[in-house]
Copies of this chain bind each other. A is one copy, B any other.
Amino acid sequence: MVKTICVIGVGLIGGSLAYGLRKHHWCESIIGIDAQQHAINEAIRLNVIDAGYTSVDDCPVIPDIVVIAVPVLKIANIFQQLKPWMNKCKAMTDVSSTKQSVIDDFNQVFPEQLSNCFVPGHPIAGREQSGVHAAIDNLFGNKKVILTPTQQTSDDSLKLITDMWEQVGANVEQLSSQDHDQILAATSHLPHALAFSLVHCLSTQSHTQEIFRYAAGGFADFTRIASSDPAIWRDICLANREALLRALSHFDTSLQQFRSGLEAGDGSILEEVFVDAKNARDRYTDS
């Protein structure tokens, strides 16, 4: 039985994990740490956490498990704060959308011999809303959680974090941090960049209101992710900069193929792009 879990960053992801773990009575108590006192208050009021503090230093106990659920560019600072707990916790994990940048941050702060409890992780789940009031106990049910253990990660810590996520219904898989970052750049970070860029370009045109007035359902679906939190996505893009630039180059090749076909009025080039895409997507949705 796990005694205490500490969730650092009590927002949508951290809050939903805490909710789910409480529901399944997987641990005796859950402590929240968040720089915003109102987030702590709200999380206690919603019964998501038992107690909360605005900094790691204020926390009176050393938890068995630490889950870091803060925006990715704030993690280096959290690692600094966690120095006193490092060789005393059973496992430490994060939920960031990029993995190599987090591992780099970790290695900067901790010498290798002390770093065997860290299990980098990324739950592929979310909602458009953010904040602890949007947290739900089944956010991770049947969703994938990717863990990217390093050479230093101990088997015990890996098993503990795997158990934790499976407890809230997630399907846990392992990838290298490099593969994770390249795959997520393609399926998540690049689509966000394209959706944001498209809506940005429409918002800068003279007849913006007209444009949006006549938008149909396909447009709403296509641009849904452009309503995501700009600060979080800015940081994700910066943290996964190299993989995202590579993904952008690949995309450019396909878009240029489409554009050159359109400029030349050559339907066969357009059709090649469209047919390949439809076949690939239909295979993916069928599987």
Contacts and interface: CB of A to CB of B under 8 A. Distances in A.
A271 B230 contact: yes
A200 B226 CA distance: 21
B197 A212 contact: no
A285 interface: yes
A42 to B, nearest CB: 22
A281 B184 contact: no
Interface string A249-287: 011011101110011010100110111111111111101
Contacts of A215: 187-188, 284
Q: Which 4 A-B pairs have the closest CB atoms?
A: A203-B280, A230-B274, A201-B254, A199-B277
Nearest to A250: B201
A200 B276 contact: yes
Contact of A218 (B188, B214, B219): B188
20 contacts: A143-B216, A179-B207, A186-B211, A193-B255, A196-B277, A198-B254, A198-B277, A199-B278, A201-B250, A201-B251, A201-B255, A202-B250, A203-B279, A215-B284, A221-B225, A222-B224, A226-B281, A227-B281, A234-B267, A248-B259
How big is the A interface, by class?
A: 35 or more
A68 to B, nearest CB: 20
Given A195-B277, A237-B262, A124 B216 contact: yes
Contact of A187 (B195, B203, B219, B224): B219
A226 B146 contact: no
Residues of A contacting B: mostly: helix
A55 to B, nearest CB: 25
A111 to B, nearest CB: 27
A280 B191 contact: no
A205 interface: yes
Contacts of A226: 274, 277-278, 281
Given A188-B216, A212-B287, A285-B220, A274 B198 contact: no
A89 to B, nearest CB: 28
A61 B179 CA distance: 65
Given A204-B254, A262-B237, A197 B280 contact: no
A126 interface: yes
Contacts of A222: 191, 194-195, 221-222, 224-225
A275 B228 CA distance: 9
A216 B277 contact: no
A11 B169 CA distance: 43
A211 B237 contact: no
Contacts of A216: 124-126, 143-144, 187-188
